[in-house]
Amino acid sequence: MKAFRFTCLLTVAATLSMPAAPQSFTAKPEEAGMSTERLERVDTLMSRLQAQGKLAGAVTLVARRGRLVSYKAHGLADLESRRPMRVDDIFQIQSMTKPIATVAVLMLLEEGRLLLGDPIAKFLPEFADMKVAVARPDGSAGFDLVPARRPITILDLLTHRAGFTGLPPRPTPAATLRAQAIQSLPRDQDFTLEQYVRNLASSPLDAQPGVEFRYGPSTEVLGRLIEVVTGQPLDDALRDRIFSPLGMVDTHFVVPPHKRTRIVTAYARTPQQGLKRLPPDPSSPRFISAGGNLYSTAADYLRFCQMLLNGGELAGKILLSRKTVELMLARQVDPLPMIFLPGQYFGLGVAVRKSDGESGLIGSPGSFGWSGGYNTYFRIDPQEKLIMMLFTQLSFSPTDLELQYGFHNTVMQAIVD
């Protein structure tokens, strides 16, 4: 096991290398301005949560100044079989798919294939002439359908302001109609992305485009946009444009059969039963979702994060220009109406920390990242040149931040230089 782990460390460290600096990129924390002793608080946190029955296992990773300083597997990948977690295990990253899809859209922007102000109906005509379902102001039963005041734009999709139903949930006429429309889709997600998007376009909007942040299916529509503009299925487009250039060899929508034994089991925390095993997500889904059904490893996602920290480039492969990364981090939605993201605004595909201290997190203004529905979590701190990642499979609760924020703070407090 020690030899296996050392090999993985070298493999991940190589992904941080730059052409002018070919030396090894694993390092003791002190060589990157961090404390080995203080970083052990991450291990202590993971051990405590496991002992309390709050966590089965996790992979944690910290890189600073282009050096990999901590990369560890904690606990179990599967409670029932008692299989130990391994650093190369594969996780369903759910909404951490969204920043990847955002980068793909921005790459198309750089190629002149689209503009962020373009109406989505230019590429997906089913979204022309959208209507908004509005409750009657006199409180009487029923609702009215009124025309959207303007088209939904690509920027609306990138900032979750298209007007679709979403989070936080509301008992509106549009929500009722959307639930009915979803029931008309084949069961068990036996439908394509194209079918899903057409079904979505058949439902009225819940708000006028550009008005409200509603965390919902906008990124799925962006996935279909990527398919139409590139002429490729979404999984092929992301593989050719992002995964292959970055060397993300274990990132898949459809996990190859020989890798499926590495998929980590997902659990939910229950007051009465502790950790309860959840039904497995499809490892070979028909519905490919840019919003949330990608599988990956901590090592692979580090490559994506390092590319962003480097201003769009990794090991000579330029995916985005530095100025486009700046656009991705520019303020778009503020305040961000999600109770688990205080003191942060929304850019394009990521939350960005503000300078007012409201977040309660140790770190720097301008730090950015996102998380997934199974508590996968990443943050990039450009000021400190630091990347942190937590990969686990525990159903997320927006009111329980002990795991994500505890991990975040125990990493950041280890900076000593």
- Asked whether residue 16 is domain-assigned, the answer is yes
Residues 75 and 150 in one domain: no
- pLDDT at position 334, please? 95
Residues 238 and 223 in one domain: no
- Asked whether residue 106 is domain-assigned, the answer is no
- Asked whether residue 104 is domain-assigned, the answer is no
Phi, psi for residue 135 in degrees, rounded to 5: -65, 145
Residues 240 and 211 in one domain: no
Residue-range definition of the domain harbouring residue 221? 112-230
What's the CATH code of the domain at 197? Answer: 3.40.710.10
The residue from 230, 263, 283 where one domain ends is: 230
Residues 42 and 151 in one domain: no
Residues 266 and 171 in one domain: no
How confident is the model over 85-95, as pLDDT tens digits?
Answer: 999 999 999 99
- Asked whether residue 89 is domain-assigned, the answer is yes
Residues 327 and 185 in one domain: no
Q: Alpha-carbon dihedral of residues 2, 389, 387, 86, nearest 10 degrees?
A: 10
Say how far apart CA 350 and CA 272 lie, in whole Å: 35
- pLDDT at position 22, please? 28
Residues 140 and 190 in one domain: yes
- pLDDT at position 2, please? 41
- pLDDT at position 142, please? 83
- Asked whether residue 348 is domain-assigned, the answer is yes
- Asked whether residue 279 is domain-assigned, the answer is yes
Residues 54 and 126 in one domain: no
Residues 154 and 173 in one domain: yes
Residues 272 and 333 in one domain: yes
The vertex-125 CA angle with 121 and 129, nearest 5°, equals 70
- pLDDT at position 12, please? 53
Residues of the chain with pLDDT under 70: 1-24
The residue from 179, 206, 230 where one domain ends is: 230
- pLDDT at position 167, please? 87
Residues 320 and 364 in one domain: yes
How confident is the model over 328-384, as pLDDT tens digits?
Answer: 999 999 999 999 999 999 999 999 999 888 999 999 999 999 999 999 999 999 999
- pLDDT at position 255, please? 97
- pLDDT at position 273, please? 81
The residue from 230, 259, 274 where one domain ends is: 230
- pLDDT at position 9, please? 45
The tally of domains found in the chain comes to 2
- Asked whether residue 105 is domain-assigned, the answer is no
Contact predicate 391/369, CB 8 Å: no
- pLDDT at position 39, please? 98
- pLDDT at position 8, please? 44
Residues 251 and 370 in one domain: yes
Kindly report the three-state secondary structure assignment for every residue of the chain: CHHHHHHHHHHHHHCCCECCECCCCECCHHHHCECHHHHHHHHHHHHHHHHCCCCCEEEEEEEECCEEEEEEEEEEEECCCCEECCCCCEEECHHHHHHHHHHHHHHHHHCCCCCCCCEHHHCCHHHCCCEEEEECCCCCCCEEEEECCCCCEHHHHHCCCCCCCCECCCCCHHHHHHHHHHHCCCHHHCCCHHHHHHHHHCCCECCCCCCCCCECCHHHHHHHHHHHHHCCCHHHHHHHHHHHHHCCCCCECCCCHHHHHHECCCEEEECCCEEEECCCCCCCCCCCCCCCCCEECHHHHHHHHHHHHCCCEECCEECCCHHHHHHHHCCCECCCCCCCCCCEEECCCCEEECCCCCCCCCCCCCCEEEECCCCCEEEEECCCCEEEEEECCECCCCCCCHHHHHHHHHHHCCECC
- Asked whether residue 353 is domain-assigned, the answer is yes
